[in-house]
Structure 1
Amino acid sequence: MPLACCSTRVCYVIHCCTMSSPYFIQSRSVTSVTSPAASLRSKLTSRRRDVTDSVAVKVEEEEAKIPAHGPASASLSMGGFSELPLQGAPHPKSETATVPLSSHSRRRRQLKVEYDDDEDFKPMKVEHWQPPDWKKQLEYIREMRSSRDAPVDKMGAEKCYDSEAPAHARRFQVLVSLMLSSQTRDQVTAAAMLKLRAHGCTAESLLATDDETLGKLIYPVGFWRTKVKYLKQTSAILQKELEGDIPDSVEGLVRLPGVGPKMAHLAMDIAWDQVSGIGVDTHVHRISNRLGWLKTPTKNPEGTRKALEEWLPRELWSEINWLLVGFGQQVCLPVNPLCSVCLNQHSCPSAFKNSPTKRPKAGSPQSPSPTSAFKTKTEVEQDSAVKDERTKTEPLFTPVSPTTQRKQAKRKVKMS
C-alpha cells in the first residue's frame, strides 16, 4: 500500500505539471504511464490534439475558398475561438467542430513597395506659357514711350488730384477721376476735374451739390447724367461708412456704384500704392490681342486681365497700364494703326493688317449684341442708360452755330 500510494501521488503530480506547464503541452515525447487513470487521461489528450489539428487544416482550406472580406470569414473568428455547432443546425461546408484559427491562417500576403532612390528621382518641371518675343516687344514699347508725351501722361488719373489736399480727399479725387474717365478722353476728364476741384471735390461737398449743378461741372464727359447719379450714390456710401475716404481693397471698391475692376485696380495702385492687379481698359485689351500676348484671344477687358496676370511678372503689373495706354493713344490706334513707325512691326502678328471696320448701325443684320466685346460691368450699365438720354432733348449747354441758325430760318421760310 505505501508503494501504491506513492506511485499514485507521483503520477498525479506529473499529470498536473503536464496540464499546466506550456513546456509539457508543446512537448509530445514526455509521457508517463503508471496508472490506468493516468493512461486514460493521456489518451484523451492525444485524441483531442489529433482532432484539433485535423479541424484546423479543414478550416484553413475553407478559408482559402471564401473571399477575404466575406461575411463567413468574420463569423469564423470571434475573439480567436470558435464554438461547436449544434446538432441539426445548418452550417455551410462543414459539419465538424471549429477550433481556434492559427496565426498562419490570418496572415495576408503583403505587397512589396519599392521606391526610387532620391538621387535618381527628378520632379517634372511645369513650364508656364509665355508669348514669344514679349520681352523684346516690351522694350520697344518702352523706347517709343520714353518721351512721355501722351495724353495719359499729362492728364491721367495720377495728374488729376490736388496734391495739397488731405490724404483722404486725394484718394477720393483719384476715384472720382477714374469714374469720369470711362468712355471719355483724358482731356475732357482733366477739364471736368479742374471744375470739380474748384467747387470742392469731397464726398461731403458732392452730397451737398444738386444734380443740375453737378451735371454742369462734369459736362461733357461721356454718360454725364448717369455719372451724376453714380457720384451721388458713391459719395453717400463713403461718407456714411468711411467718413469720406475710399475702401482699401478691390472688393470694397467694386461694390461701389459705377466702379468696375479696371477702376478698382488703378485706384489701389494710385491711391493706396498697392498692386492688386492689372488695370485693363480698351487700349490694353486691344494691344494685348494684337501682339499675341494672350494664349487665346479674349472678348472683354476682364478676360484680358486674367490672361495677362497668369504669365506677366507681378513687378510689371503697375507699369503695363500706362505703357500700353499711351502706346495705344499715339501709335497702335484703334483704327488705322501706325504700323509703319512701330518698332514691333516685324514681330507683331497683326502688323499691316486691315483695321477693324466701324460698327454697323443698330437694327442692321450685322449689328453686334449689347454685351459684345470691349464692355465692362460699368459700361454695360451706362449703355442702357444712354438710350434713355437719346430720347430726350438735345444736351444742355450746346451752343447753336450761326450756320445752323441760318439753315433753320430758311426751312421756316420755305415751309411758310
Structure 2
Amino acid sequence: MSSPYFAQSRSVVTRSGNRTAGCRPAASLRSRLTSSRGNADSQCSAAVKVEVEVDEARLSQPRPSSLSLSTGGGHGLPQPGTVQPKTETDALPLSSHSRRRRQLKVEYDKDEGVSPVKTEHWEPPNWKKQLGFIREMRSGRDAPVDNMGAEKCYDTEAPAHVRRFQVLVSLMLSSQTKDQVTAGAMQKLRAHGCTVENIISTGDETLGKLIYPVGFWRNKVKYLKLTSAMLQKEFGGDIPNSVEGLVRLPGVGPKMAHLAMDIAWDQVSGIGVDTHVHRISNRLGWLWKPTKNPEDTRKALEEWLPRELWSEINWLLVGFGQQVCLPVNPLCSVCLNQHSCPSAHKISPTKRPKAGSPRSPSPTSSFKIKTEPGQEFAVKDERAEKESLPSPLSPTTQRRRLKSKVDH
C-alpha cells in the first residue's frame, strides 16, 4: 500500500522509555524479550540466594517455600538490576504458623498440672469476740501458769545460755505435770545448780530425788542426762536456736520446741499446743474439723490464726483451761463465752476408773460416792468394815438356832 499513513515512520515507546524512530520487525522484538527474560532469571536466582541467607540467619533453617519476590511489569519478572527486599507480606506463612504454635504453647502451659482451685480463707465464726472474752477473763493473771510457768522458772541473774538451758529443762519437766510441781522441782534444781555441767555430773539417783514427784520422773532423769551431754558436745552448752535442732534432743517434742523458741530465743516459730490448748480449741470450734492430738491442733490453728497471736494464744488458753474451761466439769456458768461456745453446758466425758481402784464403785452399789482428795482410803476402810460384819438373821433362822441349842 502506498498510503502516506503507512508509509511514514512512527515512533514507538519501549519499556525502557526510549522512543524509536520507526517500527521494528517482530523478530527483533522477540529477541529483545528473550534477552530480557534471561537477565531477569539471573537476577531472580541472586535474589533467592540473598533471601535464603537472610532466613538462615533469622530462623536458623531455610524455608524456600515461603520466599516470594515482588513482580514487576506485565511478565511477572523483576526489573533487571534490582533485588526485592523481604517484606512482611513475604513472611505471612511463617508468621501465621509461628503464631499458632505460640498460642498452643501458652495454652498448654496454662493447662499443665492441676488447675488451681479457688478456696476461701476459713476462720471460725465469732472467734474474735470469743478471744476478747478470754482476755477479759484472764486479765487478773492469777492462774498457775502466770506465776509458775516456764517463763518464771529460770534464774534471771544467770548468764544467757544458762537461762535458756533452764527454760528448756522446765519445759521438759512440765510434761504431764502441774505447774506447781514443776516449779518446786525447778527450785530444787536451781539450788543444786541447773547447768549443763552440773546435770551431767549429778548421779541418776540424786537427780531423781531433785525432780520428784514430776510425772514420769525416771524417764525424765534419763532424758535430762542425754540432752545435757548432747548440748555440751554439739552446741557448746547452749540450746539450739531452731525447731529442727530442738526436736532432735531426747525428750523434747514440737510443743516444747516452739515454746522454747518463743521464751528462750524470743522468736515465734509456731503455736505451742498442750493439752489445754488442744481441748479448748476443739470445744470452741476453732478447728475446721475435730482433731485427736495436739500436733494436728497446732497445724489447724496455724492455718487461720494471725501470726501476731501465736505467742499470746498459749498463755491465754492455758490459764483459761486451768481456771474456767476445766478438763472435767468446766465452769460454763461463769464463762463469758457460754452463749457462743458450741460445747457450753455439756457434761464433759469422765475417765472410767480402773477396776479395784479406791474410787471405783462397788458392783452392788447403785450410786457413786464423791470424795475429796485424800479420803479415798478412809472410804475403802469403811466399806471393808461393813462387809466384814455378819448380815442380820431372819426371825425363822433365829428360832431354829435357839431351838437347837435348847435340845443340846
Q: Secondary structure at the match of 2:197?
A: helix
- 1:229 and 2:222 equivalent? yes
Q: Would you say the 8 A contact 2:284–2:343 is kept in 1?
A: yes
Q: Deviations over 1:252-307 (max 9, x none)?
A: 11111111111111111111122221111010011011111112222211121122
1:337 paired residue among 315, 319, 330? 330
Structure 1 position 42 matched with structure 2 position 33: yes
Please state how far the C-alpha of 1:173 moved relative to its aligned partner. 0.4
- SS of the aligned residue for 1:315 comes to helix
The 3 A distance-change label for structure 1 pair 75 and 305 is same
How far off is 1:78 after superposition?
A: 7.2
Q: For residue 261 of structure 1, what is the amino acid of its counterpart?
A: P
Equivalent residue, structure 1, for 2:64:
77
The counterpart of 1:173, out of the listed 155, 159, 166, is 166
- Unaligned 5+ residue runs, structure 1? 1-27, 51-73, 82-99, 114-124, 363-400, 405-416
- 1:207 equivalent in alignment to 2:200: yes
- How many residue pairs get aligned? The number is 289
User: By how many angstroms is 1:184 displaced?
Assistant: 0.8
- How far apart, in 1, do the equivalents of 2:340 and 2:329 lie? 18
Distance 1:314 1:105, change over 3 A: closer
CA contact (8 A) 2:66 2:93 kept: no
Q: How does 1:96-111 map to 2 (within 5 A)?
A: 103-108=91-96
- Secondary structure at the counterpart of residue 311 of structure 1: coil
> What's the CA shift string for 1:302-358, capped at 9, x where partnerless?
121122122222222111111100111111111111111111000001111221242
Partner of 1:256: 249
Q: Which TM-score applies when normalising by structure 2?
A: 0.62
C-alpha contact 2:239 2:246 (8 A) present in aligned 1 = yes
Structure 1 residue 197, shift from structure 2 partner:
0.8
SS in 2 for 1:108: helix
| Residue 291 (structure 2) pairs with residue 298 (structure 1) | yes
Residue deviations 1:144-194 (CA, integer Å, cap 9, x gap): 112222111111111111112111111100000000101111111111111
| Paired position in structure 2 for 1:408 | none
* Match runs of 1:267-282 below 5 Å: 267-282=260-275
Deviation digits for residues 350-405 of structure 1 (CA, Å, limit 9, x no counterpart): 1112212426869xxxxxxxxxxxxxxxxxxxxxxxxxxxxxxxxxxxxxx9999x
| Cα distance in structure 1, aligned partners of 2:284 and 2:312 | 17
**Change beyond 3 A, Cα 1:303–1:402:** closer
Q: Residues of 1 paired with 2:290 and 2:244: CA distance? A: 27
Partner letter of residue 96 of structure 2? Answer: R
Measured in 1, the distance between the counterparts of 2:158 and 2:378 equals 43
After alignment, is 161-170 or 126-135 more displaced?
Answer: 126-135
* Counterpart check, 1:328 vs 2:321: yes
Contact 2:167–2:263 (Cα < 8 Å) also in 1: yes
CA distance in 1, matches of 2:92, 2:132: 75
- Kindly name which structure, 1 or 2, has the bigger radius of gyration based on alpha carbons: 2
User: Secondary structure of 2:303's match?
Assistant: helix
Q: 1:77 to 1:300 in 2, by over 3 A?
A: farther
Q: For the residues of structure 2 that align with 1:150 and 1:104, how far apart are their CA atoms?
A: 81
Write out aligned runs for 1:375-390 (5 A).
none
Which structure has more RCO (C-alpha within 8 Å, separation ≥ 6)? 1
Alignment of 1:389-408 (within 5 A): none
Query: Aligned ranges for residues 49-128 of structure 1 at < 5 Å?
Result: 77=64, 80=67, 103-108=91-96, 128=121
Q: Distance in 2 between matches of 1:341 and 1:402?
A: 33
Q: 2 CA distance for matches of 1:218 and 1:105? A: 86
Q: Indicate the RMSD between aligned Cα atoms, in angstroms.
A: 3.7
After TM superposition, the score normalised by the length of structure 1 is 0.61
Task: Decide which of 149, 157, 160 is 1:156's aligned counterpart.
Answer: 149
Instruction: Say if 1:247 and 1:359 are closer, same or farther in 2 by CA, change over 3 A.
Output: farther
Aligned AA (2:311) = S
